[in-house]
Amino acid sequence: QLKNQMEIYFYGKWSNRYLKEICYAFQEISSSQLICTVQLMEILASNNQSFSEQLIRIVLQSIAQAHTNDLKSIFKFLSYILLIEDSLQIKRLQLAFEGINESGSGDNCQHFTGLYSLIRTSIESEQRRAYQTVKFLINLSNRNSSCKDYFSSTAMQWEFAINWLKQQMQTSWQWSPAQNVSNEDTDTRSFQRTRSAQFTLEQAQSLLQQTTTSNNDTSTNELMELNDTQSQSSSQSTLVGID
């Protein structure tokens, strides 16, 4: 239980400001020095939808506004929250990637766009922001089965991003074969073709392929079950006719 004097920073009128300061801290300080802060956020978000919504909204604002060189640390913070395994894990994934459209007023207004939308809007103007978001998605899918299942179920909402990344890897003039070059810590806003980006693309295509195969298998099984049902019905009708 939080002490009464601390509740104002997490649930009271200062909560938005305090959570923003935490996001700023992740941009300025090594995450290894913020372990206790991460643990506290995990405890507060666990099975707490209201706090989860507020925290994710603040983190998404930071991701949309921060310099692209600082995104890696913020995404790492968000990953801690999205990997909490409780009854709200899928809900938090939906909030982070799809956003929320519920209307409200004042402090109760929770409308915000998710990371799928951020990828789409960043493709034209800030390609590195778009790429890092795609990479974050793929990394999450590799770390947790619930995340992988969620991304498989929403593949149609991010397939466009993989098509864009594939096109960039084929046509971008900025080829950076050097090991020390990354889309996460360069000064340009433009996407660069790197080995890491190629690996991310391959993993994304693999996930999409698994999703397509799974959907096809499901459709085939459903069709076979339907045919079996129709065959049984037809056989029963024939037997009735003979009688």
The rounded distance, in Å, linking the Cα atoms of 138 and 206 is 10
Q: CA 230 to CA 227: how far, in whole Å?
A: 5
For the chain, the structural domain boundaries read 4-228
Looking up tokens 């360069």 gives 186
pLDDT of residue 11: 73
Q: For residues 111 and 101, is the Cβ–Cβ distance under 8 A? A: yes
Give me 40's structure tokens. Answer: 């506290």
Residue type, 221: N
Query: Looking at residue 158, what is its pLDDT?
Result: 96
Tell me the β-bridge partners of 175.
193
- Tens of pLDDT along the chain (243 residues)? 556 667 777 777 788 999 999 999 999 998 889 999 999 999 999 999 999 999 999 999 999 999 999 999 999 999 999 999 999 999 999 999 999 876 554 444 557 899 999 999 999 889 999 999 999 999 999 999 999 999 999 999 999 999 999 999 988 655 555 556 678 877 666 788 888 999 999 999 999 998 877 665 544 454 455 556 555 555 555 444 443
| pLDDT at position 112 | 86
Residues 6+ apart with CB under 8 A from 216: none
Question: Residue 147 and residue 152: Cα distance in Å, rounded?
Answer: 9
* Percentage helix, strand, coil for the chain under 3-state DSSP, each rounded to 5: 75, 0, 25
pLDDT, residue 43, reads 93
**DSSP at 103:** -
Tokens 């300025």: give the residue: 28
Q: What is the pLDDT of residue 220?
A: 45
* pLDDT (0 to 100) of residue 31: 83
pLDDT of residue 226: 54
Query: What is the token pair recorded at 191?
Result: 């996407």
Q: Which two tokens stand for residue 47?
A: 């099975």
168 in Cβ contact with 191 (< 8 Å): yes
Separation of alpha carbons 156 and 171, rounded Å: 24
- Strands in the chain per DSSP E: none
